[in-house]
Amino acid sequence: QVQLVESGGGLVQAGGSLRLSCASSGRTFGSYAMGWFRQAPGKEREFVAAIGGNGGITYYADSVKGRFTISRTNTKNTVYLQMNILKPEDTAVYYCARLKVGGSWSRVNRLEEYDSWGQGTQVTVSS
C-alpha cells in the first residue's frame, strides 16, 4: 500500500499564499493521476484539483480555478498544490490522494475513484 504524506499547511491571512506538498512512497508514482481534496468542519470532503501521471493534464474545482495550481515532480515522487489569493472559505484539512488502478479521468473529481489517501494537513485562512 502506498503511503502519502502531506505537508505545508498552516495559518495565513486572507489574500496570502501557501504551497502544499504530498510525498509518495510508491515506486511507480508517475503512473498515477493524483488529486487534492479538502474537508471543512461539518462539511463533506470535496474535490480541489487533479493532475495526470505525466503532469500534462490538470482539472480544478470552479471554486479554486485561477487561484490554485497543481503540479508534480515525478523524480521526487511529490505532488504540489500552490494556493494563492486564499480566502477564509478555503479553510479546511487538505488531503492528497492517488487515483485507483482503472480509475477514470472523467470521474477524477469523485472520492470513490481514489484508493490511497494521506493523513491531511490543516490550512486556516484568517479574515
Place of cell 493521476: 33
Round the average pLDDT of the chain to a whole number and report it. 96
pLDDT in tens, 1-54: 899 999 999 999 999 999 999 999 978 999 999 999 999 999 999 999 999 999
CB atoms within 10 A of CB 69: 16
Alpha-carbon distance of 39 to 43, in angstroms, equals 6
Grid coordinates in use for 22?
A: 504530498
pLDDT given at position 1 = 82
H or E element in which residue 64 lies: none
pLDDT given at position 114 = 97
Place of cell 471543512: 40
